[in-house]
Amino acid sequence: MSLDQPNAGVQLVYNEQEQVWVLASTGEELAATAIHAEIRAHATLSATMLNDVTVNMYTHGLPIDVWQNAMFTELKEGHTANMAFAAGGVENVTPEGIARLEATLAKEAEFLTEFAEGVSNGSVSELQARARAKQYAQAMEQSYWNEWGDGLANTAQFSHLPLLTQSPGDGQTQCRGNCQCILEFTDSGINWLLFPAEHCDDCLALAAGGPYRST
Amino acid sequence: MSDDIDDTPILVGEPLAPDEMTEQLTVSRQDLLDAIEWWDSVASDEFVGVLV
């Protein structure tokens, strides 16, 4: 949805020039903290669904392959929606954005296959499986940040900065899907911000190591 | 009857192999439409409808 064509009742519109979501009533940019909170709320609901389907497998005989498909369907929808939100809506999604998303989904599918094998061979308990399912839901936030950061800080102005090669929740930090950090773009580059929570050593180092450039 | 109760869950079926998931790894126009529906089903009021 563009700034020029807000639908009745919609309170947020996407400013395509600035590539930010703004409040329709005031024109103020939507804060990254508000976006993070919304995506986290979605993840919480997804986590409930993923927990329920996992319990179903352990207690009601839902076949492992059906569970795996149900898990992936939910993850795919969540990752896709988060990517589309960062793009400013599905009409702004680019082939490059789709390619990034597909790469993320391929990685998640690989993790999920390993997870399913652990469930099948008994090396993952029900409680562990339920906790891990929750992390998959939280990790969906990475698809927002992956899309958000594309092209933001890739000009000569930022060429002296280290390249940011990861996103909050993408599993590359010790906190993995539990990551509560957010990213911020300023004239100095992209900063890794520690959102109120306990932080792992990797996130502390990332926060201290900025600002960054992006691809 | 034994006093020991085996509470090990009985799991059914086998995991999908990676190549059995290949088809799901591509993102189509329909997937984008499904994502809109997913988003709107869980979004707070001010975020509903923004992906369209």
pTM across the whole model: 0.90
What span, in angstroms and rounded, lies between the C-alpha atoms of A200 and A176?
9
Spell out which residues of chain B touch residue A110, defining contact as CB-CB under 8 Å: 18
Q: Which helix (H) or strand (E) holds A31?
A: none
Check residue B23 and give its pLDDT: 86
Domain boundaries, chain A: 1-30, 32-148, 157-209
> Given a cut of 50, is residue A49 above it in pLDDT?
yes
Instruction: Please report the pLDDT score of residue B10 as a whole number.
Output: 79
Q: Is A57 in contact with B11 (Cβ distance < 8 A)? A: yes
Q: What is the mean pLDDT of residues A157-173?
A: 94
Q: What is the pLDDT of residue A20?
A: 92
Residue from B9, B8, B15, B17 nearest A61 by CA: B9
Mean pLDDT of A134-143: 94
pLDDT at A197: 78
The residue of chain A nearest to residue B43, with distances taken between CA atoms, is A42
User: What number is the ipTM of this complex?
Assistant: 0.87
Pair A79, A108: CB distance under 8 Å? yes
- Please check the confidence at residue A52 and state whether its pLDDT lies above 60: yes
- Decide if A129 contacts B9 (C-beta within 8 A): no
Query: What residues of chain A lie within 8 A of the CB of B38, using their CB?
Result: 77-78, 80-81
Say whether pLDDT at A158 is over 90. yes
Instruction: Please tell me the distance from the alpha carbon of residue A40 to that of residue A139, in angstroms, as a whole number.
Output: 10
B25 touches chain A (CB under 8 A): yes
A177: confidence class by pLDDT, cuts 50, 70, 90:
confident
Q: Which two tokens stand for residue A151?
A: 């092209």
The two structure tokens encoding residue A3: 């700034």
Contact A38 B24 (CB under 8 A): no
Whether chain A has a CB inside 8 Å of the CB on B5: the answer is: no
d(C-alpha A137, C-alpha A16), whole Å? 28
- Reported as a single tens digit per residue, the pLDDT across A73-128 is 999 999 999 999 999 999 999 999 999 999 999 999 999 999 999 999 999 999 99
CB contact under 8 A, B32 and A21: no
Average pLDDT along chain A:
92
Report the percentage of chain A scoring pLDDT > 70: 95
By DSSP bridging, strand A182-186 and strand A20-23 are: unpaired
pLDDT of residue A80: 98
Q: State how far the Cα of B29 lies from the Cα of A142, in Å rounded to an integer.
A: 21
CA distances from A150 to A100, A145, B47 (A): 10, 9, 22
Strand, helix or coil for residue A85: helix
pLDDT at A86: 97
**pLDDT tens, residue by residue, A28-43:** 999 999 999 999 999 9
Q: Does A31 touch chain B (CB under 8 A)?
A: no
Query: Which residues of A are less than 8 Å from B8 in CB distance?
Result: 122
The per-residue pLDDT for A34 is 93
Of all residues in chain A, the one with the smallest CA distance to B40 is A81
Element (H, E) at A169: none
pLDDT at B8: 66
Among chain A residues, the shortest Cα distance to B46 is held by A11
Query: Which residue is associated with the tokens 């079926």?
Result: B13
- Of B20, B24, B44, Cβ closest to residue A76: B24
| Interchain CB contact of B28 with A (< 8 Å) | no
Neighbours of B10 (CB within 10 A): 8
pLDDT tens-digit map of B1-46 = 445 555 667 799 999 988 888 889 999 999 999 999 999 999 999 9
Phi first, then psi, for residue A128 (nearest 5°) are -65, -40
d(CA A126, CA A119): 8
pLDDT value at position A2? 42
| pLDDT, position B5 | 57
Q: Check the CA dihedral A59-A65-A68-A73 and report its sign.
A: negative
Contact A12 B46 (CB under 8 A): yes
Provide the pLDDT confidence category of residue A166 given band limits of 50, 70 and 90: very high
Question: Looking at the partner chain, which of B9, B13, B21 has a beta carbon nearest the beta carbon of A126?
Answer: B9
- Please name the helix (run of DSSP H) or strand (run of DSSP E) that holds residue A128, with its range, or none: helix A126-138
